[in-house]
Amino acid sequence: MEQHTQQQLESFRNLARKIKSYHEAIGLLHWDLRTGAPKKGIPTRSETLGMLSTEAFKLQTSAEMKSYLDTLTNPAVLEQLEDIDRRQVEDCQKEYNRSQSVPPEKVQAYTVLTAKSETAWEDAKHNSDFAGFSPYLTDIVKLKQEFIDYWGVKDTRYDTLLDMYEPELTVEKVDAVFARLKARLVPLQEKINASANKPNTEFLNQLFDKDQQEKFSLFILGQMGYDFEAGRLDESVHPFATGLNPGDVRITTNYLQDDVTSAVFSSLHEGGHALYEQNIDDSLAGTLLAEGTSMGIHESQSRLWENMIGRSLPFWTRYYKDLQQHFPQLNEVELEDFYRAINRVESSLIRIEADELTYNLHIIIRYEIEKMLFNEGLEVKDLPETWNAKYKEYLGVVPPNDGVGVLQDVHWSGGDFGYFASYSLGNMYAAQILHTLRKEMPEFDAHIAEGNLIPIKEWLTDKIYRYGKSRTPSELIVAVTGEELNPDYLADYLEAKYAEIYKL
């Protein structure tokens, strides 16, 4: 490689590292905003976030970046680059092409708006006040529509948003996999509803000490290999994970006094996200590839740990006695009864508390509403009515108020339209990965029953975590499982699991 090209490459690396540093600072401020920042500081903090995000955006779309990309994307040069450099160049080129026409002041306005909106959402959710939150959401949707025009409309306007979270994902593809999944899951749900072998869940309706919930959550995170020297557990209204760098990946959970399972499974869920980012290879540190490759793959890890490991019988064969030590009121409850109770299938209002089967219906509802917002002209003011109608149609329940209805999720307050489909994609990816994992690790269940979770984490690190964003979702799932995304693995998994639980 000639000297000028080598200098361009080194300058490109330094610029990417600078952008990554901005992202880390933004991530830390955002984490603080959602974990207890003083309310009086929120307006100024929001402006600071807007300023830093705009500066990072300007670097990403600068003439300097363009000059480096012009040199490094030359096919003769690109083929000489090491894999990490080539991937980072390609990723930056895609981002540059998408964002170069977006005015920086729009980015700043959007960042300030969403920072304020997320705080307003917390109050609106608590008070079930959609009318008070609606102006924020209306402005977010309006700006998002403007961004779609800047980014370029794909097959539909909503396709543009899906691609932000799952590269190359389209409405056509999502519609197809959701239809294929529904064709298997709806009959399964009907069989479950008709079964006389319903689990008893009454013993879950007790008071559970918050401090003990926190201690048990910390214990389980340690068991799964979460590195507390590279992270921490905090409390927030809505659980989330923030990856600042592989040495600092923070998670939160939410403790419900009348539900011991909520914090346990949200800790497992966010812990799965964290294991992904804590175990990205050191060679990617400081690059824009030191993050998950897509939200679908990211969610596959959170859902794998939360459900396919965390709600399994082998898991509770090992950890149920530990749970009973923290909560003696469960001492008279048999393991089998507890296992069946935490895997009950029932229509419910809250997505993050939903069982593995109906969870996908919660996602389909949100996916369809988002399509209506961006492709079909649904207005923000009509969201509660549309939301409630779809919950009645798909799940047979109607929210008594907007706090447990349309306001229950944080995502829209942050402008994350196009994200929700990733959760069901994550379920599908997870089941497909689990199928391969069981084949390559025949002692999988035995490891879990012994509390030996580290070999599982190490297998996932070798196959998925270490690559960060250096492989596309499609490349990754094919490399791990030998085939593209296949929703039948999830249907097979759910049919087998619930046939045993409900004695179908």
Query: Which 3-state string (H, E, C) describes 236-285?
Result: CCCCCEEEEECCEEEEEECCECCEHHHHHHHHHHHHHHHHHHHCCCHHHC
Give the integer Cα–Cα distance in Å for 84 and 69.
15
Tokens in use for 248? 């600092």
418 in Cβ contact with 358 (< 8 Å): no
* Sheet architecture: strand order including 233-235: 233-235, 248-253, 241-245
Which pairing describes strands 233-235 and 248-253: parallel, antiparallel, or unpaired?
parallel
Torsions phi, psi of 242, nearest 5? Answer: -130, 115
DSSP 382: G
Residue type for position 116: K
320 in Cβ contact with 449 (< 8 Å): no
341 in Cβ contact with 199 (< 8 Å): yes
Number of H helices, E strands in the chain: 21, 3
120 in Cβ contact with 237 (< 8 Å): no
Query: Which 3-state string (H, E, C) describes 166-177?
Result: CCCCCHHHHHHH
Give the integer Cα–Cα distance in Å for 233 and 256.
16
270 is catalytic: yes
Query: Which one is catalytic: 55, 118, 270, 291?
Result: 270
Please give the positions annotated as active site: 270
